[in-house]
Structure 1
Amino acid sequence: MKPITRNILIVAVAAIAALGGYLAQRSIAPSPATGAPQVARDAGAPILALNLPDSKGANQALAQWRGKVLVVNFWATWCPPCLREIPEFSAVSRRFADAPVQFVGIGIDQPDNVRKFAEENKVPYPLLIAPLETLAVTSALGNSSQALPFTAIFDRQGELDFVKLGTLNEAELEGKIRALLASR
C-alpha cells in the first residue's frame, strides 16, 4: 500500500471513529426537558417590574406579590386557547387560595372586554390590562413571536422557574406550583 493511500485511510478511519464517538455520546447524554425553553432565573425581572391597571383601573405592581409563588398568564379574550385555559387556571387558583400562591392574568385586550370576561367567568384572581407592546417582555423568555397564551411561574424569591408558550393544562400547572411550594 502506498504511503499516501495509507495516510488517507488512517485519516478516514479516525474521522469515522470520532463521528461514531460523538454520536454515541450524544445518544446517552441527558436531553433537556422538552416544552419549556431554558431561561436564566433572573430573566423574568421585566415581568416583575410591570405596573399595570387592573380591571377596575387601579394600578397593580407585580412586585407586590414577591414572597409567593407567582403565576403570570398573558392572555386575551380574542384568543381561543386562552379561553380554554383560564377555567383550569381558575380551578387551580381556588385550590391554592390558602397557600402562598398568587395568580395574575395580563389581558392583552381592552379594559371593557377584560372586565366583562372576569365577571362572566368569575375569575378568582386579578386580571390586569396591557397593550400589545407589553408582550415584548416575553421575547427574551422564548416567546419571540409574542404569541398567546404565555405563562411564567416565579418561585417565592421572585426567580423565574418556568415558562410556557401555549396552553398549560391543570395537572402540569398544579404540579409546578406544588414543587415550588415544597422547595426552600
Structure 2
Amino acid sequence: MLVRRWVPGVLGLVLLALSGLVLVLASRNRRLSSEYQELRQLSTLPHRGTVVPTFRAVTLDGRPVIIGERADSTARQVLFVFNTRCPFCLATIPAWQRLSDSLGRAGVEVLAISLDPGDSTRRYVSQHDLRYSVLTFPQPKLKRLYRAVAVPQTVVLDWGGTVLYARTGTLDSASLDSVYAAVKHRTDP
C-alpha cells in the first residue's frame, strides 16, 4: 500500500525532471544550430579580417586593374560581386551606383566583378547602364578564394587585400553607412 502512494509521486518527479532535461537540450540544440550556421557562413562567405589574394584583370572597357593590392597604405577598394541572373543584384544596382559616384569622387577605386562570362556580362552592363568599371574573374579558382558563392556581395578591401567590410545581400541605408565607415577606417588622422 505504501508503494502505491509514493509511485505516482516519484513518477511525477521523474516526468518533471525529464521535461526539464528536454527543455535544456532543446535550448542547447538551438544554440549549437545557430553557432553552426555562423561558422558555416564564416567558412564560405567573405568576412572582416579575411585576406584575399591579389590578382590582375582587365575591365570590360579594357582598363588593367589589380585587385587586392594598392601602393598607398590608406587606399581602399570597394568590390561589388554579382551575377546577371540575380534579382537582388539588379535591385542593388542603384545603391551601388550611389556608392560608386560618391566614393569615386573621393578617390576610392570601385569595381564590380561578375561571376558570369564576359559576353553575358557585357550585355547586362549595357542593358542596365552600369557606370562603374566591371570585370570578370580571370580564373575560376579566384571565385572560391574570394568566397564569391552568394550574391550580391559588397566587399571593402584595404591596401593589402584584407577585408574590412563584407555584406551579402541588398544594401539599405544602414549598410551603406557601414560601407562608408569601412572605407574611412584607419584613414583619418
- Structure 1-normalised TM-score? 0.62
Q: CA deviation at 1:75?
A: 0.7
Q: 2:107 aligns with which of 90, 100, 116?
A: 100
Distance between the aligned counterparts of 1:173 and 1:51, measured in 2? 28
Whole-Å Cα distance in 1 between the matches of residues 177 and 79 of structure 2? 16
Gaps of 5+ in 1: 1-15, 24-33
Counterpart contact for 2:88–2:170, Cα < 8 Å: yes
Percentage of identical aligned residues: 22
1:22-33 paired onto structure 2 within 5 Å: none
Matched position secondary structure for 1:45:
coil
Q: How does 1:30-179 map to 2 (within 5 A)?
A: 42-46=49-53, 49-63=54-68, 65=70, 67-116=74-123, 117-118=125-126, 120-123=128-131, 125-130=132-137, 133=140, 134-139=142-147, 146-155=149-158, 158-169=161-172, 171-179=173-181
Count of residues in Structure 1 that have an aligned counterpart in Structure 2: 167
In structure 2, how many angstroms separate the alpha carbons of the residues matched to 1:68 and 1:158?
A: 10
- Opposite residue 151 of structure 1, the aligned amino acid is T
Distance 1:183 1:163, change over 3 A: closer
Larger Rg: 2
Root mean square deviation, CA, Å: 4.4
Deviations 1:76-132 (A, max 9, x none): 112211111122101121122321322111111222332231474142x21011268
Q: Is the 8 A contact 2:104 2:110 kept in 1?
A: no
Q: How many Å separate the matches in 2 of 1:55 and 1:87?
A: 20
- Decide whether aligned partners of structure 1 residues 132 and 156 sit closer, same or farther in structure 2, where only a CA change above 3 A counts: closer
> Any runs of at least 4 consecutive aligned residues in structure 1 with deviations exceeding 4 A, and if so which?
37-42
